[in-house]
Amino acid sequence: MDKKGREVLLLLVWGDLLVNYVETMVVPAIPTIQNYFSVSSTLASWITSAFIIVGAVVSPIFGKLADMYGRKKVYIVSLTSYLVAVGLAGFSPSIYFLIGARAVQGIGYGIFPVGLAIITDVLPPAEVATAQGLLSGSVGIGTALGLIVGSYIDQDFGWQYAFHTAFILSLLFLLAIVLWLKETGIRKRESIDYLGITVLSLGTLLVLVYITEGPSLGWLSPQNLAFLVPGILLLLFFAPLESRIREPVVDTRLMRIRNVMVANLVGVVSSIALMIMYFGIIYYAQLPPPFGLGLDILSAGLTLAPATVVMLVIGPIVGKLTGDLGPKPVLISGSAIAILGFYLLQVNRATTQALVEDVIVTGTGMISIIIPLINMVAVSLPETDRGIGLGVNTLLRNLGASIGPVLATSIMNSYKDPYILMVNNQILGISFFPGKTAFDVMFQVSILIIVVNLIISLWTANYRLKGRSVATI
């Protein structure tokens, strides 16, 4: 890798670390924010949901704009929106102002697909997969740092300082991007498909709101179906609409390319399992014995830290193997490792050390699934369509990531056991917590999801990048 490639890669790794660090740092502060504004847990949950939903919606749009107007320009627009919103969030006078600021922060999610497209532009094909592996591995490090540092800041300084410190870090990163990131010169001049963008954005938004509100409003309630039904109709209308437009926001013919379709399907499925893993581990680590390990927030975050370090090391290795062996064997082996990891989470979680070991195995499998997906999309599409292709893949992975926590929460609520609090043989109260069965079912469902992932992966058309140029597959 030449000097220019290393500089670009380091910048983009910094960006991925930053956003994942900031977004995870907010999570430990949510209960504090809920009490600060005296609001319900349902309303407080929108502090994270607003960011995720907007991030999913903007990913393909910003990917398309990057193909049209240049990667650096669109990257800066996305990052600047994020910076402004983070700055405002720390001074929020109400929960609604904060949720609005978090929604604007979601525009910053556009840096992920655009950054992946930049890497594909500036590096030789044989090095792209390794670099993508490093980018994907950095996500875990950012997440672990966010959980640990966020817990400390929330406890000792207050939730506002989580946003104040994030603003300073984001400002420094924006200056670095303006000064050092070079435009790659990839352009695809065409008109903007405003109708397609509107239909895609609104349809995705409504479906994600339905998923987010399902546990509180009810999956079949009229209020929640009012989000789902028009959302599905808009998305069903989107494909035939785009086929009739001369310059569509998403060229549906490209999305039907075999490996692109596999990458998108696996992206949805694997993201569900990944989020079940995160939610299951965090809840299990913090629940009081005998339901869990009884750890505090900081210690629970630390149980994920070794796995994220391993993911950072494994990421580039998986990327190199993807280039040398092709994505198919990596996807298959990653699925097998993930299945083993979820099985271990069922039978070997009695201690903190055991939980850490299980997460390392499961995380290794999951990162081995995620990295080939990005490479498959980038390699299978023409350079002028990589931004939108990676954006659509990001949207679908976010869709799966939105389903995962809802599914995990539903399972935990379905399998609760009583906890009787007694002092001097007097019953002071009875509480209900997710029991052993809840987590067993959660990880069994994850195994079934990864089996589906494995079946889809078998349809992958294998290729090797070593010693060859990028071509459409």
Q: Is residue 253 part of a domain?
A: yes
Same domain, 203 and 307: no
Q: Is residue 469 part of a domain?
A: no
The pTM score is: 0.79
- As for how many domains the chain has, the answer is 2
Q: Is residue 472 part of a domain?
A: no
Same domain, 258 and 209: no
Tens of pLDDT, residue by residue, the chain (473 residues):
667 778 888 888 888 888 888 887 887 677 788 888 988 766 777 888 788 888 878 888 888 888 888 889 999 999 999 999 999 999 999 999 999 999 999 999 888 888 888 887 888 766 776 777 777 666 666 766 776 777 777 777 888 988 998 899 999 999 999 998 888 766 666 667 778 878 888 888 888 788 777 767 887 899 889 999 999 999 888 878 877 877 776 777 878 899 999 999 999 999 899 888 877 887 788 788 888 888 876 677 677 777 777 777 887 888 888 888 999 999 999 999 999 999 999 999 989 899 989 989 998 999 899 889 888 988 888 877 777 888 888 878 877 877 887 788 778 878 888 777 666 666 666 777 888 899 999 999 999 999 999 999 999 999 887 644 444 34
Same domain, 391 and 303: yes
Furthest-apart CA atoms within the chain: distance in Å: 77
Structural domain that includes position 219: 193-248
Same domain, 410 and 285: yes
Q: Report the half-sphere exposure of 404 (CA within 13 A, side-chain side).
A: 26
What are the Cα distances from residue 468, in Å, to 127, 381, 460? 11, 15, 19
Same domain, 172 and 238: no
Same domain, 179 and 211: no
Same domain, 179 and 257: yes
Same domain, 207 and 335: no
Distance of CA 130 to the CA centre of its chain: 20
| Spatial CB neighbours of 59, under 8 Å, sequence gap ≥ 6 | 109, 110, 112, 113, 391, 392, 394, 395, 398
Q: Is residue 465 part of a domain?
A: no
Query: Which CATH number goes with the domain that contains 95?
Result: 1.20.1250.20
Contact 313, 362 (CB under 8 A): no
Q: Report the half-sphere exposure of 132 (CA within 13 A, side-chain side).
A: 37
Query: Distance between terminal CA atoms of the chain?
Result: 25
Q: Is residue 447 part of a domain?
A: yes
Q: Is residue 114 part of a domain?
A: yes
**What region does 103 belong to: left with phi over 0, alpha with psi -120 to 50, or beta?**
alpha
Q: Is residue 433 part of a domain?
A: yes
Same domain, 53 and 183: yes
